[in-house]
């Protein structure tokens, strides 16, 4: 008999009425002949309430005790769902993460699943029971209760489906699928019938709350069929698959807003190899994720490094940065809140010209000032003042015509990357390849005017000249914009900037020395803080300077001096035990 895993989020179990609807969905699947494992979240608001209780006592609760506390939210829900199933005439048994055998590491409040023992669930299923599992929690090897991070009942569901080799994992929520943007912020967002792993992985990682990004990592690695749909309607939902048919001409298929981020700048760092590695490594060691890492062009011998960090990690990250400041002899650590990050995501932006220009120009036309830009192969992100976050998201959505995308269907699936037995621990980092591209040149434009529209004007001039940009980075306006282009495009790019009707900057464009791009691809490269630390660490050990960085969940790219490219790629392959 085939197994179906169904996950119900906090709003789906918010009260007795909702829980009855959940029970009805579960029973429907059982009556269709499936064995059903349901996993549920805490009731909406409950996890926040429990965290609030802890914070009334201390602002920095002990992480083990915090896990012990917040895991009770899910424990309430499983019992209530089982009682409802019993009342509706079905046999069901609830299990906590520990009772199931969801074994995690010991990183309290953001633990990762190592493996799942399936014997207990299977034996209950074989007795005809519906099994209801608490989401978001597990137990480490020493028997301590752990939780997996906010929103991570999704991870529980997909990991259970992988471990049980389920036919389908259904994520039931309060919207009827994955939209091109959060429908609460963008009323004309379109529901996607299908979306690829890479795109939803990236969207989830940059703020689309509808799925926890780690759940997509697990789905991609183990090829778990996942569908996101509504608890409250019968509509078909969104299928997550390896590739989508119908989006061949679509550069961007979704946009996301992340409000809960702050920027930290460590200013006045010595400009020497190994400094960026030390910063990224020290933060990664504390399991803190950072992103949009931008180094400014060094003024004489001093450089700044800026990055974004989630608000929940801010105080810990600041403590680490203060230590780094003293250790490395930096001048200051500058935190900046009240910012928002907006990202456009699409596999189709690879090799298409003018995508970043289109986005920046649209924001310029609305008078929205861009404080920071970074790009990777499948993502363009900008930082704006928090008050402009929602308008920025709507503008980006509109400029890529996301309200009228063509229909998409899942393409024939490619085989799974891995069999479960091949990746231990289950949520471990999966690195696939190191690539070297030596055909790159770096252009820098410094001292841009600090007013809306300047980035769009510069990128627009390059797009009009038919020049494809690879990585685009901007920190503050005074530090300017850096782009990488193909070597053969350098002169045309220089000419295009030089002949702009209104000059973009007081100084001519600077063309850097020869550079090479080294990229590491895999799954979950951003969510595993250790991945960037490893890449940076290897380059530091080799004394190789990192000039630019582009990160996404599926790729970390670093720009290094041309002469070091081969060695950087070779050392990374060695470190990551890859033979490609």
Give the whole-angstrom CA distance, residue 206 versus residue 152.
15
Residue ranges in 40-69 that form contacts with ligand ADP under rule CB under 6 A: 41
CB of 244 within 8 A of CB of 194?
yes
* Least Å from the CB of residue 384 to ligand ADP: 18
* Least Å from the CB of residue 47 to ligand ASP: 3
The residue (of 23 and 175) whose beta carbon lies closer to Mg ion is 175
Task: Select from ligand ASP, Mg ion, ligand ADP, none the partner in contact with residue 175, using the beta carbon and a kind-dependent cut-off of 5 to 8 Å.
Answer: ligand ADP
The residue (of 214 and 573) whose beta carbon lies closer to Mg ion is 214
* Least Å from the CB of residue 194 to ligand ADP: 14
* Least Å from the CB of residue 19 to ligand ASP: 15
5: CB partners within 8 A, 6+ apart: 36, 37, 38, 39, 157, 158, 160, 161, 164, 166, 168, 169, 170
Q: Return the bridge partners of 77, or none.
A: none
The DSSP letter of residue 33 is: T
Task: Select from ligand ADP, ligand ASP, Mg ion, none the partner in contact with residue 136, using the beta carbon and a kind-dependent cut-off of 5 to 8 Å.
Answer: ligand ASP
Among 138, 149, 151, 389, binds Mg ion (CB under 5 A): 151
* Least Å from the CB of residue 171 to Mg ion: 8
Q: Which two tokens stand for residue 17?
A: 């009425």
Can you tell me which residue has the tokens 């990374």?
572
Q: What's the gap between Cα 396 and its chain centre?
A: 18
The residue (of 50 and 318) whose beta carbon lies closer to ligand ASP is 50
Residue ranges in 100-159 that form contacts with ligand ASP under rule CB under 6 A: 135-136, 150-153
Is 234 exposed, middle or buried, given 0-12, 13-18 or 19+ CB atoms closer than 10 A? exposed
Q: What's the gap between Cα 324 and its chain centre?
A: 26
CB of 228 within 8 A of CB of 178?
yes
Q: How many residues bind ligand ASP (CB under 6 A)?
A: 12
Q: Which stretch binds ligand ADP (CB under 6 A): 168-176, 288-296, 362-370, 562-570?
A: 168-176
Among 38, 42, 139, 293, binds ligand ASP (CB under 6 A): 42
SS3 149: coil
Q: What's the gap between Cα 154 and its chain centre?
A: 14
Task: Select from ligand ASP, ligand ADP, Mg ion, none the partner in contact with residue 181, using the beta carbon and a kind-dependent cut-off of 5 to 8 Å.
Answer: ligand ADP
Instruction: State the first-to-last Cα distance of the chain, in angstroms, to the nearest integer.
Output: 41
* Least Å from the CB of residue 237 to ligand ASP: 18
Residue 41 contacts ligand ASP per CB under 6 A: yes
Element (H, E) at 497: helix 490-498
Residue ranges in 179-198 that form contacts with ligand ADP under rule CB under 6 A: 179, 181-184
The residue (of 47 and 527) whose beta carbon lies closer to ligand ASP is 47
Among 4, 5, 11, 528, binds ligand ADP (CB under 6 A): 11
Q: How many CA atoms lie within 13 Å of 483's alpha carbon, on the beta-carbon side?
A: 25
Q: Which two tokens stand for residue 516?
A: 């090479």
SS3 309: strand
| Footprint of ligand ADP (CB under 6 A) | 9-12, 41, 151, 173-175, 178-179, 181-184, 208-210
| Footprint of Mg ion (CB under 5 A) | 9, 151
| Footprint of ligand ASP (CB under 6 A) | 9-10, 41-42, 47, 73, 135-136, 150-153
């Amino acid at each position: 008999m085939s197994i179906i895993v169904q996950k119900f989020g906090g709003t789906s179990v918010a009260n007795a009425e909702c829980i009855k609807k959940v029970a009805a969905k579960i029973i429907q699947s059982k009556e269709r002949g499936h064995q059903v494992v349901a996993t549920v979240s805490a009731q909406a608001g409950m996890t926040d309430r429990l965290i609030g209780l802890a914070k009334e006592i201390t602002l920095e609760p002990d992480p083990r005790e915090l896990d012990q506390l917040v895991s009770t939210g899910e424990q309430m829900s499983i019992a209530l769902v089982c009682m409802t199933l019993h009342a509706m005439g079905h046999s069901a048994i609830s299990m906590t993460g520990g009772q199931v055998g969801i074994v995690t590491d010991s990183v309290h409040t953001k633990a990762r699943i190592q493996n799942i023992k399936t014997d207990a669930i299977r034996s209950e299923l074989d007795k005809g029971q519906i099994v209801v599992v608490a989401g978001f929690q597990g137990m480490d090897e020493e028997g301590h209760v752990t939780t997996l991070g906010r929103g991570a009942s999704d991870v529980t569901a997909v990991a259970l489906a992988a471990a049980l080799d389920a036919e389908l994992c259904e994520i039931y929520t309060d919207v009827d699928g994955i939209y091109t943007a959060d429908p609460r912020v963008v009323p004309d967002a379109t529901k996607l019938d299908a979306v690829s792993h890479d795109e939803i992985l990236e969207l989830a990682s940059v703020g689309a709350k509808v799925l926890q990004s780690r759940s997509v990592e697990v789905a991609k690695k183990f090829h778990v069929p996942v569908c996101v749909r509504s608890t409250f309607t019968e509509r078909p939902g969104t299928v997550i698959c390896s590739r989508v048919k119908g989006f061949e001409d679509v550069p961007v298929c979704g946009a996301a807003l992340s409000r809960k981020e702050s920027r930290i700048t460590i200013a006045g760092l010595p400009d020497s190899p190994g400094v960026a590695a030390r910063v990224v490594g020290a933060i990664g060691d504390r399991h803190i994720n950072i992103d949009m890492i931008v180094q400014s062009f060094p003024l004489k011998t001093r450089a700044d490094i800026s990055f974004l960090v989630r608000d929940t990690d801010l105080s810990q990250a600041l403590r680490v940065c203060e230590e780094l400041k003293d250790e490395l002899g930096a001048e200051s650590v500058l935190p900046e809140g009240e910012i928002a990050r907006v990202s456009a995501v699409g596999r189709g932006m690879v090799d298409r010209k003018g995508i970043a220009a289109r986005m920046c120009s649209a924001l310029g036309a609305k008078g929205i000032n861009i404080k920071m830009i970074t790009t990777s192969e499948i993502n363009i992100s900008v930082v704006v003042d928090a008050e402009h976050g929602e308008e920025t998201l709507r503008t980006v959505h509109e400029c890529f015509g996301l309200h009228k995308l063509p229909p998409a269907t899942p393409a024939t699936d490619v085989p799974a990357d891995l069999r479960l037995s091949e990746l231990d621990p289950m949520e471990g980092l999966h690195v696939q390849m190191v690539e070297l591209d030596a055909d790159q040149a770096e252009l820098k434009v410094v001292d841009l005017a600090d007013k809306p529209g300047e980035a769009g004007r510069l990128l627009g001039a390059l797009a009009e000249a038919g020049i494809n940009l690879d990585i685009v980075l901007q920190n503050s306006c005074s530090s300017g914009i850096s782009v990488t282009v193909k070597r053969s495009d350098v002169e045309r790019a220089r000419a295009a900037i030089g002949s702009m009707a209104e000059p973009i900057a007081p100084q001519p464009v600077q063309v850097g020395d020869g550079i090479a791009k080294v990229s590491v691809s895999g799954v979950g490269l951003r969510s595993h803080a250790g991945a960037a630390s490893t890449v940076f660490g290897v380059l530091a050990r080799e004394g190789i300077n990192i000039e630019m960085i582009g990160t996404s969940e599926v790729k970390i790219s670093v720009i290094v001096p041309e002469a070091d490219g081969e060695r950087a790629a070779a050392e990374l392959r060695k470190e990551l035990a890859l033979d490609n």
